[in-house]
Amino acid sequence: MKNLIKKTNVVPVLLAVVLGAWSALAQAPVAARWNVKESGAVADGQADCTAVFQRLLDGAGAAGGGVVEVPAGRYAIKGHLKIPAGVTLQGVYRVLPTTQRNRQTRELGGSVLLAYAGRGQEQGEPFIRLAGNNAVLAGMVITYPEWKQTDVPPVPYPPCVYAEHAENVGVENCLLLNPYEGIKLVRSARHLIRNVCGYPIKRGLYVDECYDIGRIENIHYWPFGVHYKADDPFCKWINTQGVAFEFARTDWHYVCNTFCFGYGVGYKFSETKAGSANGNFLGLGADSCQRAVLVEQAQGSGLLISNGEFVGRWGSRDSITLEIGEKAKGKVSLVNCAFWGPIERDVWMRSAEGQFTASACHFVNWDNAGAGMPAIQLDAGRAIVQGCTFEQDGTHIRIAAAVKSALLTANQAEGGFEVENAAGNRTQTAANQPPPAEWNAEAKKHYQLAIGAAGDGRFLQGWHGREVHMRWSMAESLLKLPVVPNEPYTLTLKIDAPKPALSPEAGLYLDGKRLASFAPGAGTVTVELPATAADRITLAVKCTAWVPAQVHKGSHDDRTLGVHLSELTMRAKSAGPRVFNANTGEWK
């Protein structure tokens, strides 16, 4: 055997192979990783690190891909960065980073990029371009040091992160603190945007021409780093002009567990030359938005929205949580969604060609201005509302004459499910909760209504919400009371009229004629009502509007109030002794 080894020179050959492999490994970058600080980047927040970052990114791209590491520190980037195909720009964060509200940027830790370029140039080169397939930004905080909350309207910048004609790109575990536009993706199929937070100003995330299933997960847009006040001009600008999420042409998009606060529009579905969106939207949240969801257009296959929670803009009187525009043609389907807060209407369906469905949804608040608005307003198109619950009294669904078909089944509402239908037999209802009071002629002749108790909303329009045993009126509020035709009535009101609400014109009116005036303080008003041919009479309570915070020292109540009522009794001239409880449907 020894002679065989000597003759064939096996040992020298093996030694040469081992030494050659060792030499190759020594010359290659270990695990294809580059480090910006080791390569000369100064993390002092002052020195421009653009050249160092881009040199390493380009080197990683030329090597076929890899990771450019950004250790903790503050890196000034006064130009633009391009992440090549197969390259990840990786900071220290492995989970979603946040900063507390009102914190200044100097307190940010981790891997922080300070973006300077593009101020005033909305259409300029993006701060970071995902410039090739599988380009990824991860674990970073990005902030704009020249941003000021006092700049209103806000100063525009190009998109913070942008990808176009690049597939499988990603943004993960990043905080985009105050960009004008957060993330913009065009023709970027199979993108993955995950664990991102911040407070983008004009628009948080935009997708167009994604023809192969993008995924967006766990995004949280909230006023991080902002001295937030609802009436602050900067915050109000975002709350009326900003858009958190916008989807144009997307096919089979998956959006899961996303949230936004304080935007003009939370989720906008728009249309470009390429078309509009379809997709699966699970766990959406939009708080304090003028329009929580705005559907300008949708593909025929539809928008499937499940487990959404939607709230109107704080302090507003005209917020609508879901508006389906006149031009929308696709289906909008809601399942297990909830609506609450300062809302004028929960749903406004305006499309003649579209279709709207709500199943197992919960409608808590609407008509916050007391103007008699419904929870769901159907102006046109087709709709199905089934298995939903409504927490307030009042009009639950208003159906216009132009509606092609409305199917309303198995819905529950306190005080009974109430529909105003102008579409005739194109509206079909079944198995909905009836009102507690079964009105017959005897009940209409003599009944009592407790104002502020459950079941009072069917008889009131333009009042504030229930309080303990009463409701406040506005400058003009209505009482809509059942009557027996051609019977005169006596109406008795228990009322409290504060001095600021009184004027020479204050009182109770019928058809523009004052029937009674109001005296200051708590008391009883009794009036005689003439017979009418209708089965309902409408009376107006008029007074001077006043704001407690402007009248009473120490009050923070900024509502516009009038007088308040606690009880009313209606008795026809021919009524018997029994009194019908209009709230519960029981006899006293």
Residue 82 CA, chain-centre distance (Å), reads 33
Report whether 494 contacts 568 (CB < 8 A).
yes
SS3 state of residue 26: helix
**For a pLDDT cut of 90, what percent of the chain falls above it?**
86
Could you tell me the pLDDT band of residue 414, with boundaries at 50, 70 and 90? Answer: confident
| Range of lowest pLDDT (41-50, 319-328, 455-464) | 455-464
State pLDDT tens for residues 52-92: 999 999 999 999 999 999 999 999 999 999 999 999 999 99
Report whether 406 contacts 427 (CB < 8 A).
yes
**For a pLDDT cut of 70, what percent of the chain falls above it?**
93
Q: Is the pLDDT of residue 27 over 70?
A: no
State the pLDDT at residue 90: 98
Question: How high does pLDDT run on average in the chain?
Answer: 93
Structure letter (DSSP) for residue 424: G
Tokens of 318: 């005209």
Q: Is the pLDDT of residue 131 over 80?
A: yes
Report whether 58 contacts 65 (CB < 8 A).
no
State the pLDDT at residue 369: 84
CA separation for the pair 376, 345 (Å, rounded): 6
Q: Cβ of 463: how many Cβ atoms within 10 Å? A: 26
Q: Is the pLDDT of residue 18 over 60?
A: no
Tokens of 347: 């749903």
State the pLDDT at residue 455: 86
State the pLDDT at residue 9: 52
State the pLDDT at residue 107: 64
State pLDDT tens for residues 365-387: 999 888 889 999 999 999 999 99
Task: Return the top range by mean pLDDT from 24-28, 315-319, 428-432.
Answer: 428-432
State the pLDDT at residue 106: 52
All domains in the chain, ordered by first residue: 1-215+224-231 (2.160.20.10), 441-581 (2.60.120.260)
State the pLDDT at residue 60: 98
Q: Cβ of 387: how many Cβ atoms within 10 Å? A: 15
State the pLDDT at residue 11: 44
State the pLDDT at residue 28: 44
Average pLDDT over residues 520-544: 96
Q: Is the pLDDT of residue 1 over 50?
A: no
State pLDDT tens for residues 207-236: 999 999 999 999 999 999 899 999 999 999
State the pLDDT at residue 372: 85
Average pLDDT over residues 527-549: 96
Q: Is the pLDDT of residue 12 over 80?
A: no
Question: Read out DSSP for 324-377?
Answer: E-TT--SEEEEES-EEESS-SEEEEE--SS-EEEEES-EE----TT-S---SEE
State pLDDT tens for residues 444-453: 999 999 999 9
Cβ burial 551-569 (10 Å sphere, 16+ → b, else e): eeeeeeeeebbbbbbbbbb
State the pLDDT at residue 100: 58
Evaluate the omega torsion of the peptide bond into residue 153 and state whether it is cis, within 30 degrees of 0.
yes
State the pLDDT at residue 415: 81
Tokens of 483: 């009557």
Q: Is the pLDDT of residue 104 over 80?
A: no
| Statement: the pTM of the whole predicted model exceeds 0.95 | no
